[in-house]
Amino acid sequence: MPIIVNVDVMLAKRKMSSGELAEKVGITQANLSILKTGKAKAVRFSTLSALCKALNCQPGDLLEYQPGDEDENDEQ
């Protein structure tokens, strides 16, 4: 997936734990882990806005596009 989710970076900047973020956003730690490891296929706007609110940042701070890192599944 060419989209990188920089939740880890923002968590470090805000000095917040994963558990605390998951609780604030209202998602499970397992789902937050899927998001952090780049296994997620899509992010709902509601989740994104909750993440931005909890981390006090913009969507652009959380998402990054890296060209040339195509996923094989995307071509199917």
Partner 1 sequence: MKKNSTKSLKWLTGAVIVLGLLALAIITVQSIGFFTGTPQKAVWIEGFKGMQVSIIILKLIGSITCFSLLLSFLFNSIKAQKSGVLFPRKNVGLLFGLAASSFITLLCSGNMHIVMGTRQIELGFTELFVPIIICIVALIYRNAVQVSEENSLTI
Rg (CA), the chain: 12
- Work out the number of other CB atoms within 10 angstroms of the CB of residue 68: 5
47: number of Cβ within 10 Å? 17
Among 21, 35, 55, 62, binds partner 1 (CB under 8 A): 35
What is the C-alpha separation between 76 and 63, in angstroms, rounded?
24
Q: Is 59 strand, coil or helix?
A: helix
Q: Which of 15, 41, 45, 72 binds partner 1 (CB under 8 A)?
A: 41
Cβ-based nearer residue to partner 1, 13 or 39: 39
Nearer to partner 1, 47 or 61 (CB): 47
Q: Does 3 bind partner 1 (CB under 8 A)?
A: no
Q: Which residues bind partner 1 (CB under 8 A)?
A: 27, 31-32, 34-35, 39-44, 47, 76
